[in-house]
Structure 1
Amino acid sequence: MATVKVKFRASTIPTKEGTVFYQVIHNRVARQVNTGHKLYSYEWNTPCTEIVFPPGIEDARRNYLTSLKDALHEDIHRFKSIILRLERTGENYTAEDVVNQYLTPSNTGGFMAFARDIIWQLKQIGKFRTAERYTTVINSFERFLGENDVHLDDFDSNLMVRYENFLKSSGVCPNTSSFYMRGIRAIYNRAVEKELTLQRSPFKHVYTGIDKTVKRAVPLKIIRQIRDLDLTIFPVTDFARDIFMFSFYTRGMSFIDIAYLKKKNLQNGILSYRRQKTGQLLFIKWERPMQEIIDKYDTSDTPYLLPIIKDMNMDERRQYKNAAHLVNDKLRKLGEKLGLAIPLTTYVARHAWASIAKSKNVPLGTISEAMGHDSEKTTRIYLASLDTSAVDKANSQILKAL
């Protein structure tokens, strides 16, 4: 079986960047593919054959190296997929065949190959969140396909119905199934736009809508209970609780926005930040409970307001994702101890703030603006599943009248 490795060739001039390339070997014949990317020698670990982040690296360079590291990983995965397909044919092939299929991925007609190419392109232009969403989607689709890719011309409604049935049998809820379907549809439509296949409307018989979400808010008394817990001897859970409360104090700020808050975002008693999801600029009056949380933690070695991204020499996005997993895991366990009927996560703080604001008769437009929604319609949808007390009261009155 052919093998593929990432290689680095240093420049003959010490102050200049070297080149990164792939080496494909089959039957003792080697072929090289230039990636077009450059690195300095101190950014490459030869024994481990991987990119490293040197101390004191600037943000722009760190972002470039992170993007390149992800791109190399995706490319190696694509190479291995090509090799597996060639192996399964049972026919002889050469290292040159592997390289040719890699250089012309669309000619293979495979959806997964095309999808990974799109993800690589998104990372190259800095659209990491879209790339991550597409990666989650195709990982699910790959579990359905197994080791087989599907030709773009074979992408039809029968295939997607089978995939939907696979998701249902795996216990996936309708909204998650719809999320996967809409992601695959977005990738498929890109292939149609590139005229790699004809539009066959493969999603016409599967669910791509959005159901009402299960109520994820908690009342004010639960928020108080969470705030007043003595978690001194459980520092990690204490930190998770502080992040939850900070989100609530800041009108339901999402975890990713909290993670990337910098000290410079707080000026003259106003916290300003731009939502990662929408790019909308929001302003929050700085209140005493927010400062009390900030004062608990030492962030003198970082530009960030809270100790979520703590190591400036490591990938910031990976630190944020690891912290999100840890915080939500601790909150979930905390919620179980409190006997909550719903899983406690940082997102519950956002729902709770909106629900409590509604119960206090805060105008819909004010709630919408506070949460950074793009329209009141979004806020209506958001609040629709949070408070059923009026309906429950009406039902109770009807039953009492029997």
Structure 2
Amino acid sequence: MANLTPFIHHFQKNGTARVILLLTHKSQRKKISTEVFVTRADVTKGGKIKSEGIRNEIDKIISGYRNTIIKLGFAINSMSIDDLKYAITNLSEQNIDFYEFGQEFANKMKADGRSSHKNVTATLNSLKRFCGSNSLPVNQITLDFIRRYEAWLKTTPAFRPVKKNKKSGKPDIPKPIGTRGITLYMGIIRHLLNQARLKYNDEENGIINIKVNPFLRYKMPLEQPTERTVLSVEQMRTLINAEIPSSQKRMKLARDIFLLSFYLIGMNAEDLFASKTAVKNGTITYYRSKTTGRRKDRAKIIVRVEQEANELVKNYADKEGERLFQFYKRYATTSNFTVALNKGLEQLAGYLTLPKITFYSARHTWATLAANECRINIYTIHKALNHVDTKMQITKTYIREDFRDIWDANRQVIDLLKH
């Protein structure tokens, strides 16, 4: 049987010392740090802990580690001391804090350049409001907890500053986040729980630290599809041919980037803003940021730059070559970039008497024209939009990568807009 013994290594200048556990296994030793500290008054001259409170705290830690060792059973005989140390320090029963785990996950997403880290942080902040505390033991996230949280989301206004309505001058009182927001938050919680189980559970050795799995029985609320404005062929022609006064720089930028996205098969704002790539052999290769973490191919797509897009690509190219486009020099974040585009598009719609559009309308318009006007098959559109396709993942591993079908589809859609 492996053995664990507490000892005091040395005292720091501030008069405290960390309690270390000495793990002995197969005549080898490894140190395991704890978060328990003592002062000189807490230990005897021989270095033994005399404070009963600290001894109890250490005993709890050792007890958790020993329970893991017992659960490992005969498997311990084939484990090195490094394997054993990893098992008991990463898989031992512990009070896993969901907020702490979730924020670490969000920080990693941010470091990887994924803007969806903001959604994870927003979900964690919402949970903190619901619970009224800054700590959430993961095993408290039961089916009942999830149902109560959903009921709270449906009735509790979103947490944001009250602003005055521009038209009425009256304050816009925040409303609950709605079905789409609830579905987003629940999906994030489910994903975080799955990731936590991968880290803290070891089913093969019978170590189940995270016992809850509420989403086996919880049903997501039915989400109503968001109505997006889609422009017709004639409206797109109006947008393309519009004479915009040189003084209206925001409108011109918004029109240009809307068309740039459309010509590049709905390339979204984050990828236009952040992609570190270059035009090569008349194509742009990039990895769609929204889904890159959910795909084995990292959501890779190669888009051919059509003639209609050439001038826009050149005008907004990053001359230093650090990124594909220069937008990062004008705006500090993708969010600021998107807000500026949407404000410009709102002005542009009024100026041209078009329906109210947002930047994402370019992507929806491309897909709708492809399906309804060009009669392009839905699979090609799905591929062109670079969506997650779990059903086709295995099949796609047998097929050599080729994007010519979506290039042909894009050419058909752009040709629609010619007079």
Aligned mates of 1:290, 1:141 — CA distance in 2 = 45
Instruction: Report the equivalent of 2:326.
Output: 307
- 1:155 touches 1:202 (CA, 8 Å); kept in 2? no
**Structure 1 alignment gaps of length 5 or more:** 1-27, 33-92, 379-402
Instruction: Report the equivalent of 1:385.
Output: none
- 2:123 touches 2:188 (CA, 8 Å); kept in 1? yes
Instruction: Report the equivalent of 1:272.
Output: 285
Q: How does 1:45-64 map to 2 (within 5 A)?
A: none
Aligned mates of 1:142, 1:158 — CA distance in 2 = 17
Q: How does 1:112-123 map to 2 (within 5 A)?
A: 112-120=99-107
Instruction: Report the equivalent of 2:308.
Output: 289
Distance 1:178 1:109, change over 3 A: same
Largest Rg, 1 or 2: 2
Instruction: Report the equivalent of 1:189.
Output: 194
Aligned mates of 2:137, 2:358 — CA distance in 1 = 40
Report the CA distance between 1:355 and its aligned residue.
0.4
- 1:216 touches 1:348 (CA, 8 Å); kept in 2? yes
Distance 1:292 1:31, change over 3 A: farther
Aligned mates of 1:305, 1:377 — CA distance in 2 = 32
- 2:270 touches 2:334 (CA, 8 Å); kept in 1? yes
Instruction: Report the equivalent of 1:225.
Output: 238
- After superposition, the C-alpha distances for 1:171-210 in whole angstroms (9 at most, x for unaligned) are 3221221110010112123334414331252673452565
Amino acid at match of 1:357: A
Question: Secondary structure at 2:286's aligned position in 1?
Answer: strand
Among 90, 104, 111, which residue is 2:98 paired with?
Answer: 111
Q: Which runs of 4+ in 1 moved over 6 A?
A: 28-32
Instruction: Report the equivalent of 2:250.
Output: 236
Question: Secondary structure at 2:329's aligned position in 1?
Answer: coil
Q: Which moved more, 1:149-158 or 1:169-178?
A: 149-158
1:174 aligns with 2:160: no
Instruction: Report the equivalent of 1:134.
Output: 120
Amino acid at match of 1:135: T
Q: How does 1:128-167 map to 2 (within 5 A)?
A: 128-129=114-115, 131-167=117-153
Distance 1:131 1:305, change over 3 A: closer
Report the CA distance between 1:247 and its aligned residue.
0.6
Q: How does 1:2-401 map to 2 (within 5 A)?
A: 107-120=94-107, 126=112, 128-129=114-115, 131-169=117-155, 170=157, 171-193=176-198, 194=200, 195-201=208-214, 204-207=217-220, 210-227=223-240, 228-261=242-275, 265-276=278-289, 277-278=291-292, 279-297=298-316, 299-310=318-329, 319-335=333-349, 344-364=357-377, 365-373=379-387, 375=389
Identity %, equivalent residues: 23
Aligned residues between the structures: 277
- After superposition, the C-alpha distances for 1:258-283 in whole angstroms (9 at most, x for unaligned) are 22345x63233333333333434433
- After superposition, the C-alpha distances for 1:198-228 in whole angstroms (9 at most, x for unaligned) are 1252673452565433244222222233331
TM-score normalized with structure 2 length: 0.55
